[in-house]
């Protein structure tokens, strides 16, 4: 999901990427992976490895999986989507929209896509494509390895009616489904309404009908359920900005999903309960919210320090949870590791919300736990665009005109490990402590 509102495979965990690996791979152009993806629009008939309990969201730390990255040779035909500002031009200095660089040390030759960027030693810098099945499966293996319960797979509604972008989304969802089943993780669909025009919510109901009919979405063992029903998330309701779709359209969509036998989670503004700050003032907003099963307020950018994060949890989470309890609903707070989108928005400074070597993220886990949370959503798994990624990123990014953040010398898997530890905190498997816990590598595995 966009946070444009910010202003208002088993293996041991690895160390940070050393980019001078696999010289042979670097010399061999990546082979197109089009043939490696299976037909996405079919029911799941693969293997399921039992792992996390997929009957409820309670007791889980879930993360958001954007899955929106493309490279020109990945077979999707979408250029450098989400890597470069101009996706049809070379991904090189001056044409970049990410602030973190992925750790590519575990990637196979077919997953490594060369860029126009260079590391300090002159070696070519590589990135991945979310269209690559092997890459997506590995990401779900990481979730398993570090004790993260699963992912909400993002499905942006504004690209559902264009064949090329919809096909990419179908492939990512299909590969995520396979990855979750093989890794014993949970997954669920999250529709993001950002950018939709008036009447655009119809595309969501049409898409869900298609997923249910062709993919039998919600019927495989890894699909996350809640209160006995497959869970579907809809993000972007009730924001007090210039969105063109209406609350009435959203009500029709939620009623459609409920009538289809789904539990519904709604992603809403921080100020949803009192209808201020980033929230709509529409008198009918709360009536719409009461149709949902779970409320999840978006908090990325709403606080910037560990102290502010704890104050936010005390001020908002407790009262939000009370409202939800009175209305027989669950509450899913959002936490994030930091924020930076300088290369996407050059007018904003690099490292807008510092990570502080995990202190910022950990303070939010502690605040949510103290407030009584029994589920947490981490934004996001793979979003290097806005510097909120928790997956493996390198401390040796490319050098040149565009600056990049690092993990401040921490191991590339540090935020995966810390997120897994946040899950242990949530479930009462460890005591609350204010400081960032020291996590032995062996303890990170689940």
Residue 241's pLDDT is what? 86
* 204: its two tokens: 């969501």
Taking only the tens place, the pLDDT of each residue in 340-369 is: 999 999 999 999 999 999 999 999 999 999
Is the bond leading into 380 cis (omega within 30 degrees of zero)? yes
**What pLDDT, on a 0 to 100 scale, did the predictor assign at position 1?**
54
Q: Which of 2-11, 170-179, 192-201, 324-333 has the lowest mean pLDDT?
A: 2-11
| pLDDT at residue 277, rounded to an integer | 86
Mean pLDDT in residue range 129-149: 98
pLDDT-derived band at 242 (thresholds 50, 70, 90) equals confident
- Model confidence pLDDT, tens digit, residues 404-432: 999 999 999 999 999 999 999 999 999 99
Q: Is the model more confident about 26 or about 297?
A: 297
Q: Rounded mean pLDDT of 77-96?
A: 98
Domains of the chain: 54-444 (3.20.20.80)
Question: How many other C-beta atoms are found inside a 10 Å radius of the C-beta of residue 210?
Answer: 15
Q: Residue by residue, what is the 3-state secondary structure of the chain?
A: CCCHHHCCCCCCCCCCCCCCCCHHHHHCCCCCCHHHCCCCCCCCCCCCCCCCCCCCCCCEEEEEECCCCCCCCCCCCCCCCCCCCCCCCCCCCCCCCCCCCECCCCCCHHHCEEEEEECCCCCEEEECCCCCHHHHHHHHHHHHHCCCCEEEEEEEHHHCCCHHHHHHHHHHHHHHHHHHHHHCCEEEEEEECCCCCCCCCHHHHHHHHHHHHHHCCCCCCCECEECCEEEEEEECCCECCCCCCCHHHHHHHHHHHHHCCCEEEEEECCCCCCCCCCECCCCCHHHHHCCCCEEEECCCCCCCCHHHHHHHHHHHHHHHHHHHHHCCCEECCEECCCECCCCCCCCCCCCCECCHHHHHHHHHHHHHHHHCCCEEEECCCCCCCCCCCCCCECCCCCECCCCCCCCCCCCCCHHHHHHHHHHHHHCCCCCCCCCCCCCCHHHHCC
Q: For the residues 144-150, what does the mean pLDDT come to?
A: 98
For residue 72, is pLDDT > 90?
A: yes
pLDDT confidence bin for 439, thresholds 50/70/90 = confident
In which band, very low, low, confident or very high, does the pLDDT at 60 lie, cut at 50, 70 and 90? very high
Average pLDDT, the chain: 91
Band of residue 441 on the pLDDT scale cut at 50, 70, 90: low
Confidence (pLDDT) at 354 = 99
With contact defined as beta carbons under 8 Å apart, do 323 and 274 qualify? Answer: no
The dihedral of CA 416, 360, 235, 161: what is its sign?
negative
pLDDT of amino acid 432? 96
Task: Tell me the pTM.
Answer: 0.91
């Amino acid at each position: 999901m966009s946070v444009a509102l910010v202003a208002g495979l088993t293996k041991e965990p690895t160390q940070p990427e050393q980019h001078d690996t696999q010289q042979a791979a670097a010399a061999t152009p990546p082979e197109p992976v089009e043939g490696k993806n299976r037909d996405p629009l079919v029911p799941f008939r693969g293997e399921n490895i039992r792992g996390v309990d997929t009957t409820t969201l309670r007791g889980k730390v879930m993360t958001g999986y954007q899955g929106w990255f493309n490279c020109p040779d990945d077979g999707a035909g979408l250029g450098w989507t989400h890597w470069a500002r101009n996706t049809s031009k070379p991904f090189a200095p001056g044409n970049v929209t990410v602030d973190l660089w992925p750790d590519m040390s575990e990637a196979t030759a077919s997953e490594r896509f060369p860029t126009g960027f260079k590391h300090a030693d002159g070696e070519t810098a590589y990135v991945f494509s979310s269209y690559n099945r092997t890459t997506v499966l590995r990401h779900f293996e990481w979730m398993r390895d570090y004790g993260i319960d699963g992912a909400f797979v993002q499905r942006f509604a504004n690209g559902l009616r264009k064949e090329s972008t919809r096909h990419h989304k179908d492939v990512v969802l299909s590969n995520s489904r396979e990855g979750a089943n093989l890794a014993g993780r949970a997954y669920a669909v999250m529709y993001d309404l950002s950018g939709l025009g008036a009447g655009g919510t119809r595309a969501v109901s049409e898409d869900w009908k298609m997923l249910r009919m062709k993919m039998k979405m919600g019927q495989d063992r890894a699909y996350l359920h809640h209160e006995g029903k497959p869970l579907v998330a809809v993000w972007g309701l009730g924001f007090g900005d210039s969105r063109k779709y209406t609350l009435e359209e959203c009500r029709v969509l939620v009623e459609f999903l409920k009538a289809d036998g789904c539990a519904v989670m709604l992603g809403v503004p921080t100020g949803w309960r009192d209808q201020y700050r980033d929230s709509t003032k529409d008198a009918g907003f709360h009536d719409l919210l009461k149709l949902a099963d779970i409320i999840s307020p978006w908090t990325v950018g709403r606080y910037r320090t560990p102290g502010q994060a704890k104050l936010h949890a005390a001020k908002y989470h407790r009262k939000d949870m009370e409202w939800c309890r009175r209305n027989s609903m669950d509450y899913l707070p959002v936490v994030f590791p930091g924020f930076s989108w300088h290369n996407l928005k050059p007018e904003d400074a690099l490292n807008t919300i510092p990570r502080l070597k995990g202190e910022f993220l950990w303070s939010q886990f502690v605040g949510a736990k103290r407030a009584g949370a029994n589920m947490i959503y981490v934004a996001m798994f793979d979003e290097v665009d806005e510097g909120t990624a928790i997956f493996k990123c390198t401390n040796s990014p490319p050098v040149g005109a565009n600056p990049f953040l690092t993990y401040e010398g921490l191991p590339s898997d540090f935020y995966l490990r810390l997120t897994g530890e946040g899950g242990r905190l949530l479930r009462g498997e460890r005591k609350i402590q204010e400081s960032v816990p020291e996590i032995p590598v062996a303890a990170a595995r689940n």
